[in-house]
Amino acid sequence: MTDTPRKNFWSGLGVATVSVVLITWIIPTYGGSGFAFGLPPQLLATLGAWLMLACAAALSIVSFITLKRDGKPLIAFPEFGHFWHQTWPFLYVLAFIVLVDRFPLTWTAPFMIGALLLILGERRWHVVVLSSIIPAAGLYGLTAHLMRIGVV
């Protein structure tokens, strides 16, 4: 079996939880309502959520049995270093999105690209400078001159 049972167990549990929240709260509250001759507005979304729930629950149960049979623990915390390595890119992009929300992307992009290159271990200054400036200059040329929509 190529799948890790523990991964399957937890992902199945997560998807099942989301689908329960969808079925019991989100779809009934925000799924829309009104009289329909054909399909009620919530029907297809509810069917999708039930499909998710059934499959995710089955996946979790099967993985749970496999884990118990093999005598492996249900919980295995990832190392902090590994967890951080997976998390920081999201935080970096999120911080950058917050920045882009306030300043034009064209001006902030060289800093974003350059900083990311430095974080990833690039130390040749000419590579950092060229890689940072050329895409931003390209975006400037595209938006300000070709599309004429102004600096984004």
- The CB-of-61 to another protein minimum distance in angstroms stands at 10
CA torsion 15-16-22-25 (nearest 10°) is -130
- The CB-of-28 to another protein minimum distance in angstroms stands at 11
Nearest to 63 by CA among 1, 151, 142: 1
- Backbone φ and ψ for 4, nearest 5 degrees, come out as -80, 125
- Cα 107 from Cα 94, distance rounded (Å): 17
- Cα 61 from Cα 81, distance rounded (Å): 30
Q: Binding pattern to another protein, positions 90-119, x when CB under 8 A?
A: x--xx-xx--xx---x---x--xx--xx--
Determine if 73 is a binding residue for another protein (CB under 8 A): no
CA 49, 51, 54, 56 torsion: positive or negative?
negative
Determine if 20 is a binding residue for another protein (CB under 8 A): no
What is the contact surface with another protein in residues (CB under 8 A)? 1-3, 7-8, 11-12, 15, 19, 22, 26-27, 30-39, 41-42, 44-45, 47-52, 55-56, 58-59, 62, 66, 69-70, 85-86, 89-90, 93-94, 96-97, 100-101, 105, 109, 112-113, 116-117, 120-122, 127, 131, 135-136, 139, 142-143, 147, 149, 152
